[in-house]
Structure 1
Amino acid sequence: MHLRSFHHGAIAAAVLTVAALLPATSASATPTLDAPVCPQAEALQGLAIAPTPALAEPDYNAVVEISAGALPAGVLLEGDRATNTPYVFRGTPSVTGSFTFTVKRIFEDATPLTTSCTMTVGTPGDVSRIEGLDRYDQAVTVSKASFASSDIVYVASGEKYSDALSAASVAGLRKAPLLLSRSTTITTSTSAELLRLNPKHVVIVGGTASVAEIVVDALKAVVPEGVKFTRIGGADRFEVSRALIRHADLGVSSASGVVVATGSNFSDALAASPAAVLAQAPVLLVNGSASALTAEEAALLAHLGARSVHIAGGPASVSPALETFLAKSFTVTRSNGTDRYEAAVALNKAAFTSPTGKIYLASGTAFADALSAGPVAGRDGSPIYLVKNGCVPNSVLQEIVRLKPTSIIVLGGTATLSASVEALKSC
């Protein structure tokens, strides 16, 4: 499906200001000598630029230099012909402004080629952190920061990620918060938050092994009489996902597109939830190693009226065989990357095609602190990017440059994402 619905092929790209001065050559002249390449046209102060080769093809006989103007302070053109070190733009801009410069490629036996470039350096958005004492308090903190009240509240296990992932897109589509519970006890802060939200309906996601009836009884004792409680469970995580989406009152009545993600790990579905909500689509958890949809999954897609499917994650997450099966009945697209971080970048590039006011940074290795943010990010039209414990992948930094958020929110405490992430240190 087209992300945004899903706006396939509408990925925004920075436009370089380039004026290449090429000498006239005959049609038979070989080899073709290309002008040097500009670095990225837009950057943010304090964020490392994407390392960019100054030549489209390596040429160890040429020298590349800045012949006029100047790069922003902190950005360098590095390389050395004498040591066969390729010329690369790299570094971190330390100043703001618009910088015009000329890149020259010098040959031993040919006329130099030049390219005029401009790099505009802006100011990054404010970085803040949402953290709780634990994953349950984290969900409460996210809810408090985002909801004054809510008619519906979803409650899922904080010990296992699958039910909460199933709930994230549905809660986002319903513009409702997601709170987390232990299997047999509920925290005081969660009980207090449920009371504050003043819901008319509380949805327990998962079976009694995930959220026991004793927990439901404790929650009923907190809220006023008359609040309705509904449990949506299933024999396994896949059945829970289907049942929640299909529920007549608390799920999704129809959707032209569906996002499919593996239920075997959390990263693809976590990043996919906000993008799916933006496209008014639910996230369906499937057995990613399967070669076909189950009869129940096929029936659900038919019930929704789905015409397109977007696969979140690469072939190791959702098999090529399943993609081939889906393509027989639906328009199928896939977001993929070399790892979970790059897969999330690819998905968000396709889904979020214009600047957003806010983005979220979540751990790519620990699910707990980010689970409850999915519905909020989806409701607000904000992406979630996966980052490492001690740094932010450069591809994510370039997404920050592209989307120009005024607010960057780090999810979780420093044990999950260190102060280096808050400082937007590049990996």
Structure 2
Amino acid sequence: MDNLKPKHVLKSKKIALLVTSLAILGALGTVKVYAAPEVERYSGINRYETAAKVCDAGWDTAAYAVIVNGENYPDALAAAPLAAKYDAPILLTGPDTLNAYTSSEISRLNVKNVFIVGGKGVVSQSVEDSLKSKDIKVTRLSGDDRYETALAVAKKVGKSKEVVLVNGNDFRDGMTIAAIAALKEIPIILTDGAYMPADVKKYLNNTSKMDQVYVVGDANTISDEAISGLSNVKRIGTGNAYNKNVSVIEAFAGEIDTSTLYIASAKDFPDSLGASALAPKTSSPVLFVDSPLDESTSTFLKTHIVNNLKVLGGSGSISYDLETTAKNLPLDIGSTNNFTDTIWQDEKYTPRSTVVVTATDGTKKEVPVEWNLTNINTTKPGIYTFTGTLSGSDKTVYTTLTVKPLPYKIDNLTETASSKASYKLPTTVTAQMTDGTTDEVAVNWDYGTQSGNKPGVYIFNGTVDKYSKKVKLTLTITAGSTKTIKSIANIKATVAKKSDYTRPTMVEALMSDGSTEDVAVTWGNETKYGTGVYTYEGTVSGYSKKVGLMLIVTGEGGTDPNDPDYPDNPDNPDDSKDLGELDAIMQGENYPTTVADPSTGKQVAVTWTEAVSISSQFKDDDYVDGCRVAEFTLYGVIKGNVKVKATIGIMPKIISLNSEITISRADYPNGVNMSDLSDLISAAIIGEDGNRTSKKVHVLLWNPPTIDPTKANIYYVNATISHYSNNPVRITITVTD
């Protein structure tokens, strides 16, 4: 397999910007496509020429061919899996002489081996001699009856973990499963509907070792008595010939592809027989049709995507009116999204084999896709775009692949601290990446040498994903620092809802010299103390005891149990320093994790312990940012166990965004400053009356900031919108004259 290079490899910032723009278009774009199935008919003056036409469509050359009697179906029922195994067409002949169309196809294909299915009473010695005169090796597969002939074919197909059992007295049961059995290369075995012949029973003696025995038809087709003693039996196909055909196809829905569909008359076997060798090449089934269409057939066509319709036989078998009806019923692909994938550099990448599309009735369907390259060179980081064609159609989708660079150099770290208990290991380190950039990458530290808190040097080894070396951190505890943790008080907190409380990552410790320090704490599992009361045990490095935390949740009926191990230290709003009003947040967003320290003005971490509702009155405004659905007073603690409080407004959540703008070219002869269009973007929220209403949004950043409407009719720009998505939103701008 060739190692094909992707079409776009990043060489400079300009190219990077171009490809990134393409990637955004691809990721957010939707391909809309509508088309009726293409129809191709295989027909001749008789069944023999029709089989030759099917052969001509599927094979340019063939080392093997399978020949069956074109007038007598029983021996032909088992032929399809044999043909699939040897990639051979199925051709028809008369019983006494080799048919001229079949002879011509064998010569065209330069066939060297032929399997004759059936005894000399079905396909005569004269036909065999005609083939041998062409310097062809002939292998005859036959038995005393149709059942033994099917067994002879099955043995040539070879051992299989699955097998199909059909009633040998009705060709439609065999033909309805033939193409699927050929696709799976599993033998078709014939039986009588009321009993199982002895040789067949002997062949199926070890079905307990098989994964599945498919029995086509219900007990009226093959009786329960006939299959008694078989293991791993699964009945498929019920009802009349058409309903049975459809239900058999649907039983293998995950293994077949309906984008190409063969349709044949259920009134005779030859047309569908020839197709049973060709259809597996596209994993396609054969569907029985009749005029008028059976309800089950009509429903099947109406609920499947079909891009190519292959009609088997002339107008005497399938009329042109029936062809038109069948053509107009199937679904088509209405639209499909383009895709983005992300992998690491040097990581193997295989494009997805199927994609989910929206059919013309609005339902979701899975469709195979063929990409324009089979192997992708991922040895260089960058962004690559490649195209794919949806199976059986000319419809195109795009995949944008981001190949992330690898960290190739990370410097070791050297740190100092007054005590190791108060030192917090970094969660990221700076790495030089293979694309020439630097980035912060996550690191996981080994803790083998961290016990103890005495002055000295401590070594930590860190692991970074996709980096082959260990990152070394050397921590020096300041010489002469002999302080140890003397005690840590247990903690009690009261909240309205458990979700309002975040357990602290640092606790205050009383040191051996009388000072206090904040030390890192790791909390263990939760224990239910009582109704609405929970306790946790925390571990602090260098401290032999456990730290206790009691959480009282009043919203769950929790009351203070006055446990002497947990000091009575509820938050007192009167003692809290008021931070004033914080920036509003949107419904579903988390409370801020940092606030301004009232003493220093610097941003510090905060742990909120309680949220008290002070208003649930809807506040209206022209902009989403100005609307409010609620207001709360937050109570919390910052570094140094300083109690703080603040008020915060809650904005209504944006349900959807109108991302399409239409402007007139005449209104902007000198170009468009995108900030002038900000008020044209609207968002849907739930208003005061409980119904959807439209509000303006604040655009924080436009990219690009300007456009020239004289250059094109459609522009795609990115807008970063306040409180909506972590990523820029694509805005479509249509320019009219």
Q: Specify if TM > 0.5.
A: yes
Q: Report matched runs for 1:9-408 at 5 Å.
A: 123-221=35-133, 223=134, 225=135, 227-246=136-155, 251-290=156-195, 292=196, 294-299=198-203, 302=206, 306-326=210-230, 330-353=231-254, 355-388=257-290, 390-408=291-309
CA distance in 2, matches of 1:161, 1:362: 15
2:465 — aligned with what?
A: none
Q: Which amino acid aligns with 1:294?
A: A
Q: Which amino acid aligns with 1:275?
A: I
1:155-212 CA distance string (max 9 Å, x none): 1101101112111222123321111110001222211101111122111110011110
Would you say the 8 A contact 1:175–1:379 is kept in 2? Answer: no
TM-aligned CA distance change 1:411 to 1:233, over 3 Å: same
TM-aligned CA distance change 1:228 to 1:300, over 3 Å: farther
More helix, by proportion: 1
CA distance in 2, matches of 1:396, 1:376: 21
Q: Which amino acid aligns with 2:160?
A: A
Q: Which amino acid aligns with 1:229?
A: V
Shift of 1:385: 1.0
CA distance in 2, matches of 1:308, 1:391: 35
1:364-409 CA distance string (max 9 Å, x none): 1122322211111134311011111x23334223333444121111
2:323 — aligned with what?
A: 422
Alignment gaps of 5+ in structure 2:
1-31, 330-737
Would you say the 8 A contact 1:273–1:378 is kept in 2? Answer: no
Would you say the 8 A contact 1:128–1:422 is kept in 2? Answer: no
Q: Highest Rg: 1 or 2?
A: 2
CA distance in 2, matches of 1:331, 1:303: 7
TM-aligned CA distance change 1:421 to 1:314, over 3 Å: farther
Q: Which amino acid aligns with 1:409?
A: K
1:318-342 CA distance string (max 9 Å, x none): 112224432xxx2111112220100
Shift of 1:296: 4.3
Would you say the 8 A contact 2:182–2:276 is kept in 1? Answer: no
% identical equivalent positions: 30
Shift of 1:220: 2.4
CA distance in 2, matches of 1:357, 1:377: 12
RMSD: 2.4
CA distance in 1, matches of 2:33, 2:84: 34
Would you say the 8 A contact 1:275–1:352 is kept in 2? Answer: no
Shift of 1:355: 4.3
CA distance in 1, matches of 2:151, 2:47: 25
The SS at the match of 1:138 is helix
2:399 — aligned with what?
A: none
More strand, by proportion: 2
Would you say the 8 A contact 1:169–1:378 is kept in 2? Answer: no
Q: Which amino acid aligns with 2:154?
A: I
TM-score by length of 2: 0.38
CA distance in 2, matches of 1:301, 1:178: 30
Mean CA deviation greater in 170-179 or 266-275: 170-179
CA distance in 1, matches of 2:80, 2:270: 13
2:658 — aligned with what?
A: none
Matching of residue 413 in structure 1 with residue 317 in structure 2: no
1:98-153 CA distance string (max 9 Å, x none): xxxxxxxxxxxxxxxxxxxxxx9964412221111111111111100111111111
The SS at the match of 1:189 is helix
Query: How many residues are treated as equivalent by the alignment?
Result: 296
